[in-house]
Structure 1
Amino acid sequence: MAHNRLPPAVADAIEWLALHRSGCMTDADRQRFEHWLRLSADHPIAWQCLQQRVGQAFADVPPLAHHVLSSPATSRRGLLRGALAVAGIGVGGWWLQRTGLLPFAQGDLHTGVAERRAFTLDDGSRVVLNAKSRVDLAFAGNTRTLILREGGLSIQVAADPLRPLMVVTPFGEAQALGTRFTVTLREGKADVWVQESRVQVKAPNGATVQLRSGEGAVLTSNAVHALDSNRAAEGRWEDGYLEIHDQPLGVVIDALRAYRRGVLRISPEAATLRVSGVFLLDDSAHVLRTLQETLPVRVEQPLPLWTQVSLR
């Protein structure tokens, strides 16, 4: 996407991000940046979304990332724009999608903000996508592959001993050895939970773990770690409820982002508060009000489409 075709807020955010990363930002630049953030409600949204996404984009293209980050400051703006385009973000469209102003772009299966949807695949498997999710299908020959691009999925796998079914993520893969499991993309990782039978998970470095019903694992770029079985309810969101047992408040906020338009942020201090409960995903406003009434946090909307959760 050409730079001059980007939404103005996104184009400006790219310029500011390049300056931030140049190592040459002056106090005057910082003042101008703070002024820019306040000029429009679109500006902080674009800035936050770009910051959240750019790290993942560069992780997908390490040589280019190194080239951008090691280049002279004067050339970084152009290189950053090129890196974002090559990494396939489609920054302008992605920004509109993530803030709920456009539906997700192309994908064989996809959902929008606050939308869960069930799909029946050609092999008879049933897939439920969480809100703001995208999946591409690669069913050919002796393989059945689902590529999870955004969000999360739950799948009831149709038996086919000649064609194993696999869910592929940027952080590894999960191969069905039985029937039902969920996979959810998070910041820098993917969570896998097994509801029935068995699943084999594999990280990019080759580490593998076989999970049984009620077990879960988190996949990162170089490891597989078991998840506490007491958290298994977190993998069951198809009915619109998130069940949490003694987890950081940040886990709840992360889950709500797919069900709320705009940007939802939480301060690092508030994110560490421990919570337990059952939260209705389809009514994020009610959940936020309840959190404010029962925890030492305040929920504020300083700008349209911008919600901030912080300690009182």
Structure 2
Amino acid sequence: MKPDIIPEKTKREAAEWFLELNAEPVTPMLRSQWNAWLDARPENELAWQQLNNFSSRLRQIDPELARQSLNAPTIAGRRYALKSLAVLAMGCGAWQAIHFPYVKYKTSDYHTGLGEIRTIKLDDGTELILNAETAVNVQFNHDRRVQLLSGEILITTAENGSQPWGDFIVETAQGTVRALGTRFMVSSFSPEKSNISVFQGAVELKSRRLLDNALIVNAGEAGHITPLNIRVTGQANEHSIAWHEGMLIAQDEPLAVFLSRLSRYLPGYFHVAESAESVRVSGSFRLDNRQHILQILQTAYALKVTRTRRWWGEESFLFNKQFNT
């Protein structure tokens, strides 16, 4: 497996273990659990190797600060240590080299975990809803700026009124989205592309490398930003924001794509066997009942779900197509 295709979930797990094993005391049980996690999948070992390489580089830069960063004993101390770690890593270029977003995620102004949906009211009255596994920073200076580090956000901007607020801008790794009095969603799950859907008003898109070019996306339209491209891609789909009401809606969606979306809300690893690769899913699913979703998939699509539970608690689910005999 190439380093650049290690699943984000695996990267976060590796970082969690890294912090746990560099905090005292480390019990025999904890070390045994770490060994079991390390042996569970090839990508776990690869992620761990990358983190160790990063740790070695860190100690070469500033051994004392590195030691403090990796051994902070308290929650507050660990948060400070994570920020120190991030600064050092970016300074030496190691952070981008190993593609670990974990520190940025944990030290962001607002972030959500697995299955967590969070609503935030900003100082200007704008409503910001974070989907699961999302991280943002918020800065109000001459403009109102939300930096989407990863994940998905739904925004309903407030009227400026008499307040001296400037433009409302969402910044992603690929470019910027400027609100023009609007309700819209921005998704950024990879370094290559951000997706935008506009439900009210309009937004202006700019690519980070093509700042002289701008594109207006109007209500009812969807678009995307890449480092070298901005364009309208089709119609905005209201079903795509059902997550903020605790629902996941699929419309003729490949099973693997549906399960990938589902994995942001439910614990466990989901795998599709070759026999089920052609299955396409449609329907509305409540996100507060995993067992019910699994039962619907098995019944409606003639699937057999094999559940495996590791002794340390991790579960994986393999979806196979059932054939009548």
TM-score bucket (shorter structure)? 0.5 to 0.7
Deviations 1:217-275 (A, max 9, x none): 23333333534427442134211112222232333222212212343344577455322
Instruction: Find 1:307's aligned residue among 299, 311, 316.
Output: 316
Equivalent residue runs for 1:41-190 within 5 Å: 41=37, 43-44=39-40, 47=43, 83-84=94-95, 89=100, 105-140=106-141, 142-160=142-160, 163-187=166-190, 188-190=192-194
Deviations 1:41-86 (A, max 9, x none): 45446826966xx8xxxxxxxxxxxxxxxxxxxxxxxxxx983476
Greater mean alpha carbon deviation, residues 123-132 or residues 278-287: 278-287
Secondary structure of the equivalent of 1:131? coil
Asked if 1:263 corresponds to 2:272, the answer is no
CA distance in 2, matches of 1:115, 1:109: 12
Task: Report the number of matched residues.
Answer: 247
In the superposition, relative to structure 1, how do residues 310 and 9 fare at CA in structure 2: closer, same or farther (>3 Å)? farther
In the superposition, relative to structure 1, how do residues 230 and 197 fare at CA in structure 2: closer, same or farther (>3 Å)? closer
Are the counterparts in 1 of residues 199 and 236 from structure 2 also a CA contact under 8 Å?
no
Instruction: Find 1:277's aligned residue among 276, 280, 283.
Output: 283
Instruction: Find 2:227's aligned residue among 221, 225, 230.
Output: 221
1:294 is matched by which residue type in structure 2?
A: A
CA distance in 1, matches of 2:167, 2:124: 11
CA RMSD of aligned residues (A): 3.9
Greater mean alpha carbon deviation, residues 193-202 or residues 266-275: 266-275
CA distance in 2, matches of 1:266, 1:194: 32
CA distance in 2, matches of 1:173, 1:48: 34
TM-score, normalization: structure 2?
Answer: 0.63
Secondary structure of the equivalent of 2:293? helix
Give, in angstroms, the shift of residue 110 of structure 1.
Answer: 1.5
Instruction: Find 1:195's aligned residue among 184, 195, 199.
Output: 199
Give, in angstroms, the shift of residue 176 of structure 1.
Answer: 0.6
2:222 is matched by which residue type in structure 1?
A: G
Greater mean alpha carbon deviation, residues 300-309 or residues 185-194: 300-309
Greater mean alpha carbon deviation, residues 289-298 or residues 172-181: 289-298
Give, in angstroms, the shift of residue 296 of structure 1.
Answer: 4.5
CA distance in 2, matches of 1:49, 1:283: 32
CA distance in 2, matches of 1:174, 1:268: 39
CA distance in 2, matches of 1:202, 1:274: 35
- Structure 2: gaps of 5 or more residues: 1-14, 22-34, 51-91
Which residue in 2 is equivalent to 1:16?
none
CA distance in 1, matches of 2:130, 2:302: 33
- Structure 1: gaps of 5 or more residues: 12-38, 55-80, 95-103
